[in-house]
Amino acid sequence: MGFKIGLLGLGTVGTGTAQILLNAQGRHPLVQEIEIDRVGVRSLDKPREVEFPEGVITTDLEAIVTDPQIDIVVETIGGLEPARSLILQAIAHGKHVVTANKAVIARYGDEIFTAANAAGAYVMLEAAVGGGIPVIKPLKQSLGVNRLQAVTGIVNGTTNYILTRMQTEKGDFADILADAQRLGYAEADPSADVDGLDAADKIAILASLAFGGRIKLADVYCEGIRQINATDIAYADKLGFVIKLLAIAKRIGEVENAPLSMRVHPTLVPQTHPLASINGVYNAIFIEGEPIGQIMLYGRGAGAGPTASAVVSDLLHLIGVLKSGDRSELHPLLSCSHDDYCAIAPIEELVTRFYVRFLTQDRPGVIGKLGTCFGDRHVSLESIVQTDVKDNLAEIVVVTHDVREGNFRQALDEIRTLDAIHSIPSILRVL
């Protein structure tokens, strides 16, 4: 028995998916059982890298998601609408869905999974996070017996590419972003990537699986990389760190159901940490749990081939279950089994180390005053260095011990009022 799929979208991921399905030789035998029945596109006039028989390609996407012949809808169009509505329509018409759409799942996952559970449909999303890296299935299944404490990811290839080049070329953000756009590594409108929004979508999805509860995207603290510059990268290097955009989901405390810290921000990562060696467009997800300890999944986070590999792996997994299983109830390892929301702690409650760079008047007593302001708020300092005087201003770099972010911010508010402080160009968290 074959399975008919309706493929929505024939862009990078849709084309990559079709290329795997149309060239099944040497792959798992189940791939041969998947037949592309219809392909939905926005325009029929665009040149295509794959050819389909007459009548397969259509611009009527609704006809695909409502077609009784189709078993599984593969959504690769991206964006919020019409993707969300088409996924919901497909579910309402009894179809299973495979999607690569992190933005839709991070925002409308509750609506989509509630509808899917009610309809007895599966929604599979391996391609939504980490491109070709298997991470959804490991979190749902292979690591499911562990009590997970933290998921820390480099899940945005564009920003990792930019930061890696800034590190190796000692360049500034704007120049390298412009070059990355010219080379096709960054979008013309780069904000979803460089402002951390794409990474926030992805960590919300990963946290939901790791910690067994829904995540409100608005509760994920998010800072991008626009303010990172060559000066901080050089200081970080001298102090033994690299700067990476990390997406972090971490249980605060040992108690089950303790709140999560959920955040995306540029972070000083110790050069000895496994995530420090993830360079260029590569992604990695570092998972910590009991009893497994630490595990890191690494690979290409985007691109036609890797993302299509994840899409087709979902198809394979899905049809494997559909072929063998009792369809009267959903397979517990494939369906979404939670509907409560995880509690998320406000960023002020975060306990972390900070790196902060001050520009100050170069006169006696400034470091003493900084120390007093920090000490008054119980912010303990690990190191304080002054190396440069530029334009009559001293550059002072402080690294704190673990401190409560709320206390740290109060200390900075007081420091900003000191006469000797010219500006605070950089504040970064340390892993």
Q: Where in the sequence numbering do the catalytic residues fall?
A: 202
> Contact between 99 and ligand HSE (CB under 6 A)?
no
Query: Which of 37, 71, 75, 198 touches ligand HSE by CB under 6 A?
Result: 198
> Contact between 193 and ligand HSE (CB under 6 A)?
yes
Neighbours of 120 (CB within 10 A): 14
Closest contact distance (angstroms) between CB of 139 and ligand HSE is 17
Closest contact distance (angstroms) between CB of 1 and ligand HSE is 34
- For the chain, the 3-state helix, strand and coil shares in percent, each to the nearest 5, are 40, 25, 35
Q: How far apart are CA 261 and CA 347, in angstroms?
A: 7
Nearer to ligand HSE, 133 or 312 (CB): 133
Residue 75: both structure tokens together: 């959504």
Strand partners, 393: 361, 390
Which region, judged by CB under 6 A, interacts with ligand HSE, from 107-115, 138-146, 153-161, 173-181? 153-161
Which region, judged by CB under 6 A, interacts with ligand HSE, from 155-163, 256-264, 353-361, 411-419? 155-163
Which region, judged by CB under 6 A, interacts with ligand HSE, from 58-66, 68-76, 154-162, 335-343? 154-162
Question: Total residues contacting ligand HSE (rule CB under 6 A)?
Answer: 7
Q: In sequence order, which residues have a C-beta less than 8 Å from that of residue 102 and are 6 or more positions away?
A: 125, 128, 129, 198, 201, 202, 205
Residue 260: both structure tokens together: 């999560």
Provide the H-helix boundaries in 120-273.
136-137, 157-169, 173-183, 191-194, 197-211, 230-239
3-state secondary structure of 401: coil
Identity of the amino acid at 79: G
Closest contact distance (angstroms) between CB of 320 and ligand HSE is 26
Query: Which of 158, 164, 208, 426 touches ligand HSE by CB under 6 A?
Result: 158
Q: How far apart are CA 362 and CA 151, in angstroms?
A: 42
Query: Count of alpha carbons within 13 Å of 122, Cβ hemisphere only?
Result: 25
Nearer to ligand HSE, 196 or 301 (CB): 301
> Contact between 360 and ligand HSE (CB under 6 A)?
no
> Contact between 157 and ligand HSE (CB under 6 A)?
yes
Q: Are the CB atoms for 245 and 156 separated by under 8 Å?
A: yes
> Contact between 156 and ligand HSE (CB under 6 A)?
yes
Positions in 288-347 near ligand HSE (CB under 6 A): 301-302
> Contact between 109 and ligand HSE (CB under 6 A)?
no
Which region, judged by CB under 6 A, interacts with ligand HSE, from 38-46, 90-98, 150-158, 326-334? 150-158
User: Do strands 241-251 and 351-361 pair parallel, antiparallel, or not at all (unpaired)?
Assistant: unpaired
Contacting residues toward ligand HSE, per CB under 6 A: 156-158, 193, 198, 301-302
